[in-house]
């Protein structure tokens, strides 16, 4: 019986030691709290808040303490899609992202239960309220304004929780399907309106350029007609003088021929004494010089049949010496008119109002008036020349 007692003691001692070792390991693990560098932990002992554990190794009472970790980095909260009615009674759906950061872990632990869920729910209600205070067009265009309003609404309550809202970003704001179809129709109508305006402007520009081209063509044609009429008037005047000169020469020949026939009739008579007028002898001398190149060089009236050149007075009346100057002046006026037309065309291309510009019909009327004035100024010269020619013919 006695030898069995040490065996039982030897068998029970190792078991106790192992139990004590296990209890020691568990106590050490409960006493040591390792906190990461990006977080803080709230310590409670018997349910009472004691302190915040800083990053590193911390020792806490075993078995009666408990810690709660708080991430001190910026965290992202996804706000679920929300439905709202805008101020102009248009339904929209929107979702957002909120960026928060724990600034005071003690407040986040003591003042709010699950600060992430609280901030998310507050962001949802704030998003619906902000969209409800705006019109549909503003919700689609003023995204930054919506973000700023939501952030201001979140700042005050989250400060009491020790949370700072760093940023709010609304990702999407979508109107209802019916509103989207109406907006697409409106956009299509606006694009068609712009296309029609551009087409009308192009047609207007084309019409202006066409009218300007017609105007230039009409002005140039009017200038050419003006030159042609002036030259034709000069030619008519010269032709009238030539015809007058020719008539004068033919009249003298007719008188001389008649006189020669009379002389022939007188020579056949029986009388030996003849009385001839002085004018007849003068005409006979001139006619003989013209036919035979005789010695008769002067006549009583100082005229000869072989001179058909215009004298200085006739050339001055006809303006023969000024024809080149007149044509040069007309050419200069045409060049000036063309330059003015080019300047007006450039003004039209730059967007000036062509209402103040003269139409081609007005320009042609002005050119016709100038031509009538020119013809009226030329007519006295021609009539004077004809009168003078008739007078000379009657004198001869």
Give the domain ranges of the chain.
30-72, 74-175, 212-264+278-288+296-395
Cα–Cα distance, 208 to 196 (Å, whole number) = 18
**Cα atoms in the Cβ-side hemisphere of radius 13 Å centred on 33:** 23
Dihedrals φ, ψ of 89, to 5°?
Answer: 60, 45
What pLDDT is attached to residue 221?
84
What pLDDT is attached to residue 301?
45
DSSP class of residue 370 equals: H
Q: Are 150 and 130 in contact (CB under 8 A)?
A: yes
Q: At what angle do helices 177-267 and 323-349 cross, to 10 degrees?
A: 170
Dihedrals φ, ψ of 57, to 5°?
Answer: -90, 130
What pLDDT is attached to residue 234?
74
Distances (CA, A) of 58 to 29, 33, 134: 11, 5, 52
Distances (CA, A) of 113 to 44, 47, 97, 116, 383: 16, 16, 21, 9, 122
What are the pLDDT tens digits along the chain (396 aa)? 444 444 444 444 588 888 888 888 888 888 888 899 999 999 999 989 999 999 999 988 888 889 999 999 999 999 999 999 999 888 999 999 999 999 999 999 999 989 999 999 999 999 999 999 999 888 888 999 999 999 999 998 999 999 999 999 999 899 988 888 888 888 888 888 889 999 898 888 888 888 888 888 888 888 888 878 888 887 777 777 777 766 666 666 666 676 667 766 766 766 666 666 655 566 556 555 555 544 444 444 444 444 445 556 666 655 556 666 766 666 666 566 656 666 765 665 555 444 455 555 665 566 566 656 654 544 444 444 443 433 333 333
Helices (H), the chain: 4-31, 105-110, 115-132, 136-141, 143-160, 177-267, 278-292, 312-318, 323-349, 360-395
Q: Compute CA 287 distance to the chain's CA centroid, rounded to the nearest angstrom.
A: 84
Cα–Cα distance, 46 to 213 (Å, whole number) = 102
Q: Compute CA 119 distance to the chain's CA centroid, rounded to the nearest angstrom.
A: 52
Classified by CATH at the fold level, domain 74-175 comes out as Tetrahydropterin Synthase; Chain A (3.30.479)
């Amino acid at each position: 019986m006695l030898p069995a007692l040490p065996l039982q003691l030897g068998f029970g001692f190792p078991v106790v030691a192992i139990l004590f070792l296990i209890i020691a390991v568990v106590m050490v693990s409960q006493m040591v709290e390792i906190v990461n560098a990006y977080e803080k932990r709230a310590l409670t002992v018997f349910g009472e808040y004691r302190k915040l554990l800083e990053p590193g190794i911390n020792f806490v009472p075993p078995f009666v303490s408990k810690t709660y970790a708080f991430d001190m980095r910026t965290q992202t909260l996804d706000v679920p899609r929300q439905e709202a009615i805008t101020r102009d009674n248009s339904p929209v759906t929107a979702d957002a992202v909120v960026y928060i950061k724990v600034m005071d872990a003690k407040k986040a632990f003591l003042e709010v239960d699950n600060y992430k869920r609280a901030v998310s729910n507050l962001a949802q209600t704030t998003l619906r309220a902000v969209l409800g205070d705006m019109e549909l067009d503003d919700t689609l265009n003023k995204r930054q304004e919506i973000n700023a309003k939501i952030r201001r609404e979140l700042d005050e309550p989250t400060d009491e929780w020790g949370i700072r809202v760093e940023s709010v970003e609304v990702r999407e704001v979508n109107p209802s399907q019916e509103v989207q179809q109406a907006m697409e129709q409106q956009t299509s109508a606006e694009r068609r309106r712009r296309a029609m305006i551009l087409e009308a402007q192009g047609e207007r520009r084309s019409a202006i350029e066409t009218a300007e081209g017609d105007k230039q063509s009409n002005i140039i044609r009017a200038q050419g007609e003006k030159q042609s009429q002036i030259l034709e008037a000069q030619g008519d005047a010269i032709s009238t003088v030539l015809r007058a000169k020719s008539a004068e020469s033919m009249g003298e020949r007719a008188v001389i021929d008649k006189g020669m026939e009379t002389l022939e009739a007188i020579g056949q008579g029986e009388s030996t004494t003849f009385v001839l007028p002085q004018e007849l002898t003068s005409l006979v001398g001139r006619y003989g010089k013209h036919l035979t190149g005789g010695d008769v060089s002067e006549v009583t009236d100082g005229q000869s049949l072989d001179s058909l050149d215009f004298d200085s007075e006739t050339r001055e009346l006809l303006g023969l010496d000024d024809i080149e100057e007149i044509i040069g002046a007309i050419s200069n006026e045409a060049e000036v008119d063309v330059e003015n037309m080019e300047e007006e065309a450039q003004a039209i291309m730059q967007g000036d109002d062509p209402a103040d510009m003269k139409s081609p019909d007005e320009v042609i009327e002005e050119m016709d008036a100038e031509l009538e004035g020119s013809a009226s100024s030329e007519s006295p010269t021609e009539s004077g020349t004809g009168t003078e020619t008739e007078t000379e013919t009657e004198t001869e």
